[in-house]
Amino acid sequence: MTCHPLEPVRRPGPPAPSAADLTVYGCGEHEAVLFRELAPRFGVRPTITDAPVSEGNVGLARGSTCVSVGHAARVTRPTLRALARAGVRHLSTRSVGCDHVDIEHARSLGITVVPIAYSPDSVADYTVLLILMLLRDAKPMVRRTDLQDYGLGRLGTELRDLTVGVVGAGRIGSAVTTRLRGFGCRTLTHDRRHDAVDGVPLDDLLEHSDLVTLHVPLTSRTHHLLDPERIGRLRPGGYVVNTGRGALLDTEALLAALESGRLAGAALDVLEGEEGAFHADRRGALVDPVLSRLQQLPNVVVSPHRAYYTGHALRDLVHNTLASCVASTTEARHG
């Protein structure tokens, strides 16, 4: 089932205070500061922990009808059942996607799942950054200069000379397209949910784009949207950028195309199985073999799911999480 983010992302003044309890799981230090700053304006009493929600810490939510979770950890069915037993009826996830929560199972338990929207500009800006890093060979260049090798390296490519395919015409995909057009490149878009004026079938987009960037939600229909067959349709010497969800790409098929030289490069802010690696200091630890293979390639840029991570976006997430909790509590009281 597809979930749709709470709107709007603009931050009007908070509603009149209406006492509500909210347990916030998986909360980073910057989010915690914002929750403590903004919660009193909404009349919300937050309980905050940096631990992801699990059966072992559901007790923190006892007495709260609302909980908020991050995007980095899966909310299992046993955890959902434990939350329901604790009295939770509203679960918001601080992300525009909710593929890490079984929405139908939550609904069967009487828990409403609400994804929380934020400004698309954070991810759109970061996507363009990754594109430019690929086209200007930024990763090898930085590594060389760190070693005091100041050679020019390979020739770069200008965006205005390319056709860029944007898969997904939602808020983030549209913001990416707007930015790309400012560079003078040709853009193609595809989105099965939107009647975009210049929308094209996905296979046509893949065959006619020099670079493809992914901005669709992860569902059963989009899992491995770029599978071996579709990766084979990409132009030789093309690029792939993914700031959506890792499982939109068949990683092994992508690696094969990169290692063979058929594709010129990839930039990945998300990765299949990232939950075991990202958002922690892993220095000295064993690295996932697939992640290691990707990072060893000079034409692959990997970042730890941080495209959204700006002060503006975090404030949006916290503000809209609190507003969602208040709205849910008010609705429950007025039945």
Catalytic residue among 171, 305, 315, 319: 305
Beta partners for residue 48, in sequence order: 24
Catalytic residue among 171, 245, 315, 319: 245
Catalytic residue among 171, 190, 230, 274: 274
**Tokens read off for 154:** 């390979």
Catalytic: 100? Answer: no
Residues across the chain: 335
Spatial strand order of the sheet with 211-214 comes to 186-190, 163-167, 211-214, 239-242, 265-268, 300-302
CB 187 within 8 A of CB 67: no
Catalytic: 274? Answer: yes
Q: Indicate the SS3 state at residue 84.
A: helix
Q: Which residue has the tokens 């009281």?
A: 333
CB 261 within 8 A of CB 255: no
Give CA separation, 83 vs 99, 114, 289, 327, in Å: 18, 15, 35, 19
d(CA 270, CA 98): 15
Enzyme catalytic residues: 245, 274, 305
